[in-house]
Amino acid sequence: MSVEIEPPVKKAKTFANEDDYCNKIIDKCIEDIKNSQKNLEPVLSDDFQKSIPLIKVFVGIIKDPKDLSRTVLMLNEKIPLKELQHLKRIRKKEVILCPTNFIIGMSSIQQYIECNVEELKDTFQYFKELDVPLSPPKVKQQFKEWNKIWSCNFHPNVYLEKLVSGNFFAPTELNLHRTYMEIAFEVSRWYILHLNLNTNEDDVFRNINSAVIVDPTTQSVVAVSFDNRDANPLQHSSMLAIDNVAKTQNGGVWSTEDINPDRTLSGISEELLNYLKPRYPSVRFGARKFISKCDISSDEYNGNPSDGPYLCTGYYAYLIREPCVMCSMALVHARVKRIFFCFDNMFDGALKSKSKLHTISSLNHHFEVFTGFL
Amino acid sequence: MVDFMKRALELATEALVAQEVPVGCVFTIEENIVAESRNCVNITHNPTRHAEINCIDFILHYCKTNKIDYKCYFTNITVYVTVEPCIMCAAALQNLKVKEVVYGCTNDRFGGKTVLDVSNFCDHSYELTGNLLSIEAMCLLKQFYKGTNPHAPESKIKKKKDS
Ligand SMILES: [Zn+2]
Ligand SMILES: [Zn+2]
């Protein structure tokens, strides 16, 4: 999603004008997020797409419908459908025999049947090749489409149905998510002013890239960050945010000038915190108290299994822009629970535009991704 | 080449002793080591502090203090790392346009080539070679995963053991 920005009329600008320009864009984004009537959209794996992946199979047309159940029993035993379990084996007088590539090395499907299920060699009137759905339908909508091609088995999953309903978040939840995204823009505004950045209109969008990390269990902002890649190419906003969360857990490696002596608040610069608090009086700031292993005596430990925060486990990340590959994987390592972003990153976005890292099943942690704030 | 990987393995062993995931890394320019480090995720509570990221930060700092253009500096660097760089580190090394990466064993869980080929996302890609002293690198990992990560919360460790 891109935002329409009116090109500035004059080319030559003073500092004040540029600040003003930047402020106006941020104001507009915040305003638009506030007024958005849309629910947020999940970024789902490609299996949720409308187009149906197909596979070619042989179908036999049965001579005598009375033989159907006996035939299916025999086929299930001798030529099980395996990966195609989601398909019903019969449709009227048609019976799925096997994928067409099964008969490699044989002259015909008739020969294949004779070799594998001798008893059925005279059961079929004729054979044909047919395209059928390769994978099981994930949601009702797909189930309907799949069924037009071939009858499928399907067990709806309540959570997935809700995800694709276009109505996932309740209004109160939406308000929270929008507020945290607004804070991401406010963080950018503060850093641009604070660092006296000379942002011209071309790189306003590159430079306003911030992250806000929230603990949803306490509804509290744990850490924030502002992209610093021009000074250090590793310091994208997500990488910085992860380090700022580490600071709330007695860790962190990248120093900041004014680290808060209160550890639970050390994920946010003190000055910035003073700027944000009056603007968002209803928002809480700070992490749950970190419990290090050494702090807990062993009997206490056995008595109370509830752990303090561990990395970004259970946290939500609000990012102005879709993160790049490096940042997306960093957020996997950090075990973030959900990621919300505002703008697509067509250049190297790894959660929607160029790849969907969170849908790679072999990774050991998976977060959910939502967008559609504007 | 082998000597550099041997040094990386020493660093990985250091990590194991410190109860960190044993991965070590050295950056070289023209057969000289210019940076070396190991994984330090647990002590920093920052899961991105892999050996490669630490080396990158070291070089960035070095270039800054000596007023060297880091963009140019990285293009001469060959990386020796005991385990195939993860997706995050592979992307970072690629963005910095390092010359070459040599690794020990493959990384089936997070590999920036094996799990997701990061070179598809960038215009630049470095030369990548694997399987240098891979058995030694794998042995260290096995030793680590035989034990449990002492820094993960108790409940997580239990879950791991149960599954
Ligand atoms: Zn990034
Ligand atoms: Zn890595």
Catalytic option among B14, B20, B31, B52: B52
What residues of chain B lie within 8 A of the CB of A363, using their CB?
Answer: 109-110, 115
Residue A204 has a pLDDT of 61
pTM as predicted: 0.87
Backbone angles phi, psi at A245, to 5 degrees: -65, -40
| Average pLDDT estimate for A109-125 | 92
What would the two tokens of residue B100 be?
Answer: 């070459």
Residues pairing with A113 in the sheet: none
Q: Is the pLDDT of residue B118 over 50?
A: yes
Mean pLDDT computed over every residue of chain B: 91
For A43-90, the pLDDT digits (tens) are: 999 888 768 899 999 999 999 999 999 999 999 999 999 889 999 999
Nearest residue of chain A to residue B57 (CA atoms): A234
Residue B161 has pLDDT above 50, yes or no: no
Per residue in A208-228, pLDDT (tens digit) is 789 999 999 999 999 999 999
**C-alpha closest to that of B38 among B60, B63, B16, B70:** B16
Q: Does residue A2 register a pLDDT over 50?
A: no
Give the pLDDT band of residue A17 (cuts 50, 70, 90): low
Are residues A246 and B88, on separate chains, in Cβ contact within 8 Å? no
Domain-by-domain residue ranges, chain A?
A: 21-44+166-296+307-371, 51-163
| Phi and psi angles of residue A369, each rounded to the nearest 5 degrees, phi first | -125, 130
The CATH number assigned to the domain with range A21-44+166-296+307-371 reads 3.40.140.10
User: What is the reported pLDDT for A244?
Assistant: 96
Smallest CA–CA distance from A333 into chain B, residue: B47
Cβ B44–A364 below 8 Å, yes or no? no
Say yes or no: ipTM exceeds 0.85.
Answer: yes
| B36 catalytic per annotation | no
Residue A175 structure tokens = 């308000």
**Mutation target vs A (from B46, B116, B117; most A CBs, 10 A cutoff):** B46
Q: How confident is the model at residue A195, as a pLDDT?
A: 85
CA A245 to each of CA A75, A233, A264, B155: distance values in angstroms, whole numbers, following the listed order: 57, 20, 9, 21
Give yes or no for residue A199 having a pLDDT over 90.
no
Looking at residue A201, its pLDDT comes to 61
Q: Tens digits of per-residue pLDDT, B82-112?
A: 999 999 999 999 999 999 999 999 999 999 9
